[in-house]
Chain A
């Protein structure tokens, strides 16, 4: 754990403590479990895709504009998150903060649009209990949205720790791990964009 370890200056800060290294590997494995979790949700969604009962079809309700804006916000946030980590490795605390906060704001914007989208659908008569299809839709997109919410809260807490304790091997490992999580959510969103929205609009004709 907190042994004095010798590192050349090429070792990134987050890999300099034993705990940091273990945590990062552990988190990669956790992401493996997350892949299994989302794969199950995708399989469920695809199996239920045409099961709209008497409710509205995705073709009727999905609209591309909102989804494109959401996609744009989230993809950009992944990019700014990458810059934040780059700044962290240069030990530029201010840069890290600026880019991370931009990341979080973009994430919040994404969430805002998603909530707006959900509310619209419910007004138009498609809720969790409308049909198997809408159950699948709300749960897969909602699970992703919940992940984004937790990501925002988590990264905020970590930034507070960095503000208080500075960039140590411990705090920087935490920042790095939360950035992995953020990129992961971005990747999942790309799958949702394709499997849920594009297929819903293109394949599902009624």
Chain B
């Protein structure tokens, strides 16, 4: 490998990126040094094992990735705005849709949701912490490092270009030479470790750390959705791990799993990928369903309609999610019988999903609705998600799928479910729980602007694409001729995309504005309508130990009961005992850094470096294993002070 191959050259966009990355790094280093923030950064963030701080770091990284993926999207939409545009060439376009898809799903949607789960779930179940706080930090740092490894492909070595589905033989050595595809394999592999560990961690947390009295069927719906999501993660992610490893063997060590020489089987990749990929879709939608359930019942001031039906619907969806993967390649020759079976199993998923939609509507029926921003996102979700769902059923009809397979009809469909479901959900959850994280609300007026800009932009962008798709415009093309007649609708679509971009900027401005001007709160129940336990912690920003005294639960929606009975929520001095908490640890950060070294080495097939990195990982594992990690006790005095108990 020569230096001029090492750094990606030749494209002004990439030089621009080089410069902006360089400036950002210099700026950060300067800021940290000049304001003497290094120690603060290390002590408060890099070594933290507090689930709320880890959650905030997940969310911050996800917002950053939303920006990166969004810029990719705008570049693509700019290229497609007019026929025969010369803004991006074919190879560059391929790289951009690949990184866009991968980043959005793996490094934006999932981490955003896992971030909110991290912040909220332990509070919602009345726990002091997660079951494995140290492991939680390992999860975050492996996700973060995997994301960074994937992202630098853009300027060092070159990005992957075989699509986020990485179909073989396209992703093999012949058609995708160079390190790009290796970045995909290793970035996802490292981040996947973190996701699996999160799955285990939260399963144990939810099963074992609930406050006394909180039976399974008294758990808040968001907790339920997280529980079910974690089950899917634990069974689906190993499939991805294996698939990625097998492709790595093909590319680096000459194995023949998916390559056609040596009698390998390219369709094996498609099957393994979607055996993970379809459940993945539910990993990013079920938590959003959970959040909307909370938000809708909170702002309709009513108990969630059909609580048990909601739970069973999610259980069914989770089970089905493993049985429908072939609908992603009806046209690739599975035969009529197989296609029919998968067509029917796919449509069956519509039933539990429909049940959920009706339950949300019934929850609002005769409710006293407050139109806050989280509620607006929830209402926007219901309307737009139905559009995505209906077109999904159209795609599930195998015979008809031959018409719109791999066209913009599909592109529009999955954006309608992913954006209206997952992204709206993330925004709703962020606004809803923002005061829990920071002790003040995001500004509601700006928040509504964000909602309308984004929601309208979204529809202007993606609705025309259904018609482009029916008109035959294929996905993943970098340009089209004027004679195709697709120019006008594409222009409309691009305008919508930029509207969404403006909506995102408004969100960022809102964060800044609210940080400066929002009124600080000192009540735990910021919206005044909270129902679940996270609203029962006394301070607006929960202290690191969460609850001074572990609450007991007597039914659904415990905080409503507290509010109605006008109970005193401040814990009594006599009940306060020292609280045991785990120590901070720098090991997860260091371990993830070694993962980076190993991953980077393997990407460039510099095996010495890969080995050095892996040895580093093992050493950190050993150090941790020998660590006695006894933790420490939070003293009664400190709790008294934090909870403002004056006796």
Contacts and interface: CB of A to CB of B under 8 A. Distances in A.
A158 B621 CA distance: 12
A177 to B, nearest CB: 12
A47 B263 contact: no
Contacts, number: 119
Nearest to A129: B254
Interface residues of A, number: 38
Given A32-B234, A161-B625, A128 B272 contact: no
Given A33-B237, A40-B242, A128 B254 contact: yes
B568 interface: no
A133 B626 CA distance: 41
A169 B262 CA distance: 52
Interface in B260-280: 261-265, 268, 272, 275
B555 interface: no
B85 interface: no
B137 interface: no
A2 B582 CA distance: 10
Contacts of B204: 22, 25-26, 29
Contacts of B582: 1
B415 to A, nearest CB: 30
A174 B239 CA distance: 27
Interface in A53-74: 53, 55
A44 interface: yes
A51 B208 contact: no
Contact of A161 (B200, B235, B626): B626
B263 A1 contact: no
B131 interface: yes
Contacts of A128: 249, 253-255
Contacts of A30: 200
A47 B265 contact: yes
B249 A132 contact: no
A139 B253 CA distance: 12
A102 to B, nearest CB: 23
Contacts of B196: 33
B255 A139 contact: yes
A1 B236 CA distance: 31
A30 B237 CA distance: 12
A128 B253 CA distance: 8
A132 B262 contact: yes
A76 interface: no
A136 interface: yes
A25 B208 contact: yes
Contacts of B372: none
B387 interface: no
Contacts of A47: 265, 268
Contacts of A23: 132
A130 interface: yes
A139 B239 CA distance: 14
Interface string B237-258: 1110111011001100111110
Interface string B630-642: 1100000000000
A37 B241 contact: yes
B265 A48 contact: yes
Contacts of A41: 242
B580 interface: yes
Query: Which size bracket describes the interface of B in this complex?
Result: 35 or more
B56 to A, nearest CB: 24
B257 A132 contact: yes
B207 interface: yes
A85 B43 CA distance: 40
B13 interface: no
B580 A132 contact: no
A40 B238 CA distance: 8
A25 B234 contact: no
Interface string B547-585: 000000000000000000000000000000000101000
A32 B626 CA distance: 26
Interface string B601-635: 00000000000000000000010011010110000
Nearest to A29: B200
B234 A29 contact: yes
B226 interface: no
Given A34-B238, A47-B268, A161-B626, A53 B262 contact: yes
Contact of A131 (B200, B241, B256, B631): B256
A153 B15 CA distance: 47
A28 to B, nearest CB: 9
A136 B262 contact: no
B132 A51 contact: no
B203 interface: yes
A3 B264 contact: no
Nearest to B230: A29
Contacts of A37: 238-239, 241-242
Contacts of A44: 242, 246, 257, 268, 272
Interface in A91-125: none
A129 B256 CA distance: 6
B208 to A, nearest CB: 6
B580 A51 contact: no
B208 A48 contact: no
A157 interface: yes
A30 B630 CA distance: 24
Interface of A: 1-3, 21-23, 25-26, 29-30, 32-34, 36-37, 40-41, 44, 47-48, 51-53, 55, 128-133, 135-136, 138-139, 157-158, 161, 170
25 contacts: A2-B630, A22-B204, A22-B208, A25-B207, A25-B208, A26-B131, A26-B204, A29-B203, A33-B235, A36-B234, A40-B242, A40-B275, A44-B268, A48-B263, A48-B268, A52-B263, A130-B262, A135-B246, A135-B250, A135-B257, A135-B262, A135-B264, A139-B245, A139-B246, A139-B249
Given A26-B201, A41-B242, A53-B262, 4 more contacts: A26-B132, A37-B238, A47-B265, A51-B265
